[in-house]
Structure 1
Amino acid sequence: MNFQKTIRSALAGLFFFAGLMSCNEQLKESARPRVLISSDIGGTDPDDFQSMIHLLMYADRFQLEGLVSSPYGEGTTKDFQDMIDVYEKDYSQLQSHAPALPTPKSLREITRQGQKDAAPFKGYSDPTEGSEWIINCARRVKDQPLWVLVWGGIEDLAQALHDAPEIKENIKVYWIGGPNKKWSINAYSYIAEHHPDLWMIEANSTYRGWFMDNDSPGDLKGDAYYENYIQGRGALGKDFINYYEGNLKMGDTPSLVYLMNGEPDDPSGESWGGSFEKIDRSSRNVFMGGSTVEDTVAAYAIIEWRFEGPDIAVPEDAVVFEIEIQNQTWPGYYLGKGTYGVKYSSKKPETGRYKTTSDIAELDGLEGAYVSIVPWPGKATSDDFQLGSNWYSDRQNPALYIGDQQGAKTISKYRKEFLMDWAARWKWLEK
């Protein structure tokens, strides 16, 4: 009888500790942020490949739920798959140090194709695999929000919000804006106007603190870090040299490291991914008939030109003219009732000039200019989009600038910490 009691007690103890271990595993799982990446990898800028290598080496720190290809140019899901192939070569060695790293197979299963073209004037078009995957992931019943980290165009997020606006309750967004905002201005405008209650970090310039290494120790400068800490380490290290000749850029990585330390639910706190302040409006300037160098706007603001012309028989949002700004060309749209429009956003403080071309005589050869300045969001105008209580952006304190890059020092101050942490992981791949 005593023997049976002893057995029962031992089994009860085993079940108790097994349950405790299971609970601990569940807690550990729930503590890892849920993450979906929307990236323009393979598009116009190769820095996303560098950021992808960093993500793969730290993927044990997250619950990765989606890899959405949202490029400008020729990028597709194949660019994700190619990087996963490289990761697979190092997977066993990396996993021996970080057992929670996801399998290459599981990463391939969550890769989806998103929008390849910029949104039309209205800011959205048709659903994609990527936008539907965002909705799918956001609707999963979980005990924490889905972090949507946007490394490129914001079209797929805009489409998801248009098709399923209720997902706003379940997501938090960190968007690398700046140049991406310029390319994605129609989709961004749609979100700011129609979904101002979104929880959003809009990093237009802070992210630059990741690679602006003016005050960095010599061994951590962008052109030295590869030689000192990456070269000769695994297939990922061999691949890294293919992007910017190994010089660090990785302008999208701040969105990821933002979740790795500090308190992500409080953007005003300290983090490797920057510190931000609330903004209550998104700067917008609407110019009827054009603008001149006398017209000053905030850098990163929505600049919208409206022109009058003939009332023509084409669908609204049809592209009927082009505008060249800073040696790049953008589509202009018919808005109906003889009104034409185009939007733009400067990626930095600048004096810009524009010129239109069109088969419509009234829209051909129009010229003008503008001056954009910091800080963002700048002086309030009646055209601004009013935002909700959870929209954050670059800090305006001049002491936190690097050059004219607003808020960049809130990241660069941690350069040694985050790069040496990564260097420790690169050592895992030493032979």
Structure 2
Amino acid sequence: MIFKVNIKAIIFACLCFILTGLAYAQQPVPVKPRILISTDIGGTDPDDNQSMIHFLIYSHLFDTEGLVSSPSYGAGNKEEILKMIGLYEKDLPKLQQHQKGYPTPDALRAICKQGRKGAAPYKGYLTATEGSDWIIKCAKKEDTRPLWVLVWGGLEDVAQALHDAPEIASRIRVYWIGGPNKKWSANSYAYIAANFPKLWFIECNSSYYGFFSGNGSPENLKPANYYNNFISNAGYMGAAFKSYYKGIPKMGDTPSLLYMMDGDPKNPLRESWGGSFIKFNHSARIVYDRATTITDTVPTFSTVEFHFKGPKINISPDSACFTLTMQAGIGEQKWDGFYNGNGDYVIRYCPKQTETLNYKVSSKIPGFEPLQGKLVISNLWPGQPHQTDYRLGSNWYTDKPDASLYDGIWQGSQTVLKWRSDIMLDWGKRWAWLK
């Protein structure tokens, strides 16, 4: 009898363990979320086109209120979103055979807006755009649900909207795919962090890398094999998908959508397809009044602010007047610097990964002495506090720092990678609808 009782207890414990594990992913979303997507689609990285196709295939799950083109870098534009909607329109009859509630193509076209093209100046904002005005309009709608702003590129239009209508800060929730986007959007990020510390904000700098990592995936789900196994011959969107990264799924922005599809989005601490996050109360900001050397180390994803002395001149503070040329692992990149008055020249830079950077600073302004330096980037965000950090409120969240959750060099990446097979199999079922 004791043996039988123990066996039953063991079976019961195992079932509880299995059910508990299953409960972590693909949980019901309590309320259909209102979302607005801000994307740099059509710019230098075609993964936004892939993520837009993913969104359209799952678009019945959301009340979508805006699709805003916000290319802080590159030549992205609203027309690229409209092109994706055109493909969706051709595939929609097949999607509707399997699922009700898909938005009409015309309804999606009506909410496409053009945002700011190019990065904001040092102050972090400039002038209103169609996109920033639309964010304000959507945020001010009478609705008991918050507006979730899913940012796939720069923060320029979000920063502009907050500047023009600061009262919307309590009505929106932001999930930002940061990392490389933070480099291009350093000034807008700094404006938001400094002026809206109470904003509800997920800063996903590296967890999203788990989505396009093939580590641990079965062979049929590995990035290089997925197109042939699931997407090939799957409608107009499937044919177009081959044009982006030769059909290899990257979709670094998709975790923001996955986060809205799995469980209660009000709780970023939970396990979810879109990652699991921690609260943090300081965003690393390190200020130098000199050129740095190999002895200077800053955290990855931090805001590094350089101040250089130079001639006193009379120009608009919004005018780029010197250049920081950064030599990084991906090659040479140039960044605009600005005059802050009284001989103070300033520029912000946000490193995206662990490496040692070499840079040069130059200007055509007579009397501006060229400089060069080095900077070491460490692999832990946000790192130890600094007196110059941005102090955040109680609703800022970011990637988990546990060593066990890294995938390679990417902090928190395992919180997404662990669900990748489930996610890609679920998506594969929908691609089959289009065959």
Pairwise same-fold verdict (TM > 0.5): yes
Offset of residue 317 of structure 1: 3.0
Matched ranges for 1:20-59 at <5 A:
31-59=31-59
Q: Which residue of 2 aligns with 1:68?
A: 68
- What residue in structure 2 maps to residue 359 of structure 1? 364
Q: Distance in 1 between matches of 2:370 and 2:394?
A: 42
AA at the equivalent of 2:36: L
- 1:265 maps to 266
Structure 2 counterpart of 1:21:
none
Taking the TM superposition and a 5 Å limit, the aligned residue runs for 1:16-415 are 31-71=31-71, 72-326=73-327, 327-415=332-420
CA contact (8 A) 1:322 1:357 kept: yes
Report the residue type matching 2:357 in the other structure.
G
SS in 2 for 1:419: helix
CA distance in 1 between partners of 2:265 and 2:271 (Å) = 9
Residue by residue over 1:44-64, the C-alpha shift from the partner in whole angstroms, topping out at 9 and shown as x without a partner, is 100000000000000000000
Name the aligned partner's letter for residue 296 of structure 1.
Answer: T
After TM superposition, give the deviation of residue 295 of structure 1 in Å.
Answer: 0.7
Using the alignment, how far apart are the partners of 2:228 and 2:367 within structure 1?
57
Cα drift, residue 384 of structure 1: 0.3
The one-letter code matched in structure 2 to 1:352 is L
Q: Distance in 2 between matches of 1:30 and 1:89?
A: 31
Supply the AA of the counterpart residue of 2:205: N
Q: CA–CA distance in 1 between the matches of 2:256 and 2:212?
A: 14
What are the Cα deviations for residues 320-379 of structure 1, in whole angstroms up to 9, with x where unaligned? 110101210000100011111000011111111110121235434200111111210001
Give the superposed CA RMSD. 1.3
CA drift of 1:263 comes to: 2.1
Whether the 8 Å contact between 1:282 and 1:385 is mirrored in structure 2 is: yes
Distance 2:67 2:111 in 1: 6
CA contact (8 A) 1:197 1:388 kept: yes
Q: Is the 8 A contact 1:317 1:335 kept in 2?
A: no
Q: Given that residues 299 and 347 in structure 1 are in contact (C-alpha distance below 8 angstroms), is that contact kept between their aligned partners in structure 2?
A: yes
Structure 1 residue ranges, 4+ long, deviating more than 4 angstroms after superposition: none
| Shift in Å, 1:30 | 8.9
Distance 2:379 2:271 in 1: 23
Aligned residue for 2:141, secondary structure, equals coil
| 2:152–2:176 CA contact under 8 A, matched in 1 | yes
Deviations 1:171-212 (A, max 9, x none): 110000000000100000000101111100000000000001
Which range is displaced more, 243-252 or 316-325?
A: 316-325
* Cα distance, 1:397 vs structure 2: 0.2
Measured in 2, the distance between the counterparts of 1:382 and 1:281 equals 10
Partner AA of 1:382 in structure 2: Q
Q: Secondary structure of the equivalent of 1:52? A: helix
How far apart, CA to CA, are the structure 2 residues paired with 1:384 and 1:135? 28
| Amino-acid identity (%) | 52
SS of 1:336's equivalent in the other structure is coil
Larger Rg: 1
CA contact (8 A) 2:311 2:368 kept: no
SS in 2 for 1:405: coil
Aligned to 2:17: none
CA contact (8 A) 1:355 1:368 kept: yes
Counterpart amino acid of 2:129?
T
C-alpha contact (below 8 Å) 1:356/1:363 kept by paired residues: no
Extract unaligned runs of 5+ from structure 1: 1-27
Any conservation in 1 of the 2:29–2:263 contact (CA below 8 Å)? no
Residue correspondences, number: 403
In structure 1, C-alpha distance between the alignment counterparts of 2:162 and 2:192, rounded to whole Å: 8
**Which whole-Å CA distance do the structure 1 matches of 2:369 and 2:213 have between them?**
41
Q: Which deviations, in whole Å up to 9, do the C-alpha atoms of 1:9-42 show, x marking residues without a partner?
A: xxxxxxxxxxxxxxxxxxx999210000000000
Distance change >3 Å, CA 411–CA 388, structure 1 → 2: same
Q: Given residue 87 of structure 2, which amino acid in structure 1 is its aligned partner?
A: V
Distance 2:64 2:122 in 1: 32
| Aligned AA (2:242) | I
| TM-score normalised by length of structure 1 | 0.92
CA positional deviation for 1:393: 0.3
After superposition, give the CA deviation of every residue in 1:371-408 in whole Å (9 maximum; x if it has no partner): 11121000111110100000000000000001110000
Per mean C-alpha deviation after superposition, the further-off stretch among 35-44 and 288-297 is 288-297
CA distance in 2, matches of 1:337, 1:92: 63
Please report the TM-score for the alignment, with normalisation by the length of structure 2. Answer: 0.91
CA distance in structure 2 between the aligned counterparts of 1:389 and 1:338, rounded to whole angstroms: 37
Q: Which amino acid aligns with 2:395?
A: N
Aligned to 1:421: 426
Judge conservation of contact 2:29–2:264 (CA < 8 Å) in 1: no
